[in-house]
Amino acid sequence: MFIIRQFAETDLDDIISLWEICDLTRPWNSPEIDIFRKVAQKDDLFLVAVKDNELIATLMGGYDGHRGWLNYLAVDPHVQRNGIATALIQQLEKRLIALGCPKLQLLVRKDNIDIQSFAEQLGYEEDEVVCFGKRLISD
């Protein structure tokens, strides 16, 4: 069994290790700074899953007042395919509905095919959009 709770400051190192194992870190994004920025939002949407006192999964949710966002979804490879990501997303969906968020979005790298099957079976449909990004602050 695992529990889902909000991020705590003591999770920092475990989270970064998990993101590295799951290949979610990129040279142009500092994971520490990403976490500090998220915590500063104080929105209680940064969730983790814990099993036997070990951090096994993360989901950094967000709501910008128009759309909800899913970021940094990661499950320890040793415990994947046990419904942990599904449970995290369902928990986030509940919290976002309570905030009045009408739609939740997930940005996926084009080469990440696995996540596409995962998202589709959770009821997420591919939107016909192209995402443009502009860096405002270099980490």
Q: Quote the least distance from Cβ 112 to ligand COA, whole Å.
A: 5
Quote the tokens at residue 3.
Answer: 């529990």
Q: Out of 83, 90, 97, 99, name the contact with ligand COA by CB under 6 A.
A: 83
84 touches ligand COA by CB under 6 A = yes
Query: Which regions of 16-116 does DSSP assign to beta strands (E)?
Result: 46-51, 54-63, 68-75, 104-106
Q: Which is nearer to ligand COA, 29 or 100 (CB)?
A: 29
Burial class (CB in 10 A: 0-12, 13-18, 19+), 110: exposed
Q: Quote the least distance from Cβ 105 to ligand COA, whole Å.
A: 11
The single-letter code of the amino acid at 48 is: V
Query: Which regions of 28-136 does DSSP assign to beta strands (E)?
Result: 46-51, 54-63, 68-75, 104-106
86 touches ligand COA by CB under 6 A = yes
22 touches ligand COA by CB under 6 A = yes
Q: Out of 75, 92, 96, 104, name the contact with ligand COA by CB under 6 A.
A: 75
Q: Quote the least distance from Cβ 25 to ligand COA, whole Å.
A: 11
User: What does the alpha-carbon distance between residue 59 and residue 7 come to, in Å, rounded to a whole number?
Assistant: 9
Q: Quote the least distance from Cβ 33 to ligand COA, whole Å.
A: 19
